[in-house]
A and B are shown apart, each in its own frame.
Chain A
Amino acid sequence: MMDQYMLEIRDLYVYFRVYEGISRVLDGVSLDVRKGEQVGLAGETGCGKTVTMKTVMGALKIPPAIIPKGEVILDGQNVLKMSAKQLLQMKGTKVSMIFQDPMNALNPVFAVGTQLFDVIRFSNRHTSNGGKLSKKEILNRAIAALDEVRLPDPKRILNSYPLELSGGMRQRVLIAMALVNEPSFLIADEPQTALDVTIGAQILDLLSELVRTKGISVLLITHNLGVIQETTERVNIMYAGQVVETAPTALLFENPKHPYSQGLLASVPRLTGGEIAEGIRGTVPDYTAVPSGCRFHPRCDHVMPICSQKKPSLLLVEPDHLVGCWLYAKEGGVK
Chain B
Amino acid sequence: MSESLLVVEGLVKRFPIRAGIFHRLVGEVKAIESVSFDIKSSEIFGLVGESGSGKSTVGKTLLRIYKPTKGTIQFKGRDVTKLTKETLRFFRQQAQMVFQDPKSSLNPRRSIKSTIEESLIVHKVAKNGGARKKIVADRLAMVELSPNYMYKYPSMLSGGQRQRVAIARALALDPSFIVLDEPTSALDVSVQAKVIRLLQRLQAERQMAYLFISHDLSLMRTIASRTAVMYLGRIYELATTEALFTNPLHPYTKTLISAVPVVSAEERQMKPKKQSHGGEIPSPINPPSGCAFHPRCSLAEQVCAQELPDLAEVLPGHFVRCHIAIDALSANTRKMHLVNSAKEARNKIKRR
Contact = CB atoms under 8 A, between A and B. Distances in A.
**A, B bound:** yes
Interface of A: 44-46, 166-169, 196-202, 204, 223-227, 229-231, 253, 263-280, 283-284
A270 B51 contact: no
Contacts of A204: 261
A262 to B, nearest CB: 11
Contact of A278 (B197, B264, B270): B197
A197 B256 contact: yes
Given A272-B270, A278-B197, A201 B261 contact: yes
B218 A168 contact: no
Interface stretch (B5-13, B30-38, B64-72, B183-191): B183-191
Contact of B190 (A166, A169, A199, A267): A267
Contacts of B194: 278-279
A92 B230 CA distance: 40
Given A196-B281, A270-B222, A276 B263 contact: no
B278 interface: yes
Contacts of A166: 280-281
B261 A230 contact: yes
Interface of B: 50-51, 158-160, 188-194, 196-197, 215-219, 221-222, 241-242, 245, 255-264, 266-267, 270-271, 276, 278, 280-281
B261 A196 contact: no
A277 B222 CA distance: 11
B222 A275 contact: yes
A272 B218 CA distance: 8
A264 B222 contact: no
Contact of A225 (B189, B258, B266): B189
A237 to B, nearest CB: 12
Given A225-B263, A270-B218, A276-B196, 9 more contacts: A226-B218, A226-B263, A264-B190, A265-B263, A267-B189, A269-B219, A273-B245, A279-B193, A279-B194
Contacts of A266: 193
B221 A272 contact: yes
Contacts of B242: 273
B128 to A, nearest CB: 34
B190 A279 contact: yes
Given A45-B159, A223-B189, A196 B262 contact: no
Contact of B221 (A44, A196, A253, A269): A269
Closest CB pairs A-B (n = 4)? A226-B261, A279-B193, A44-B188, A267-B193
A230 to B, nearest CB: 5
A272 B267 contact: yes
Contacts of A279: 190-194, 197
Contacts of A201: 258-259, 261
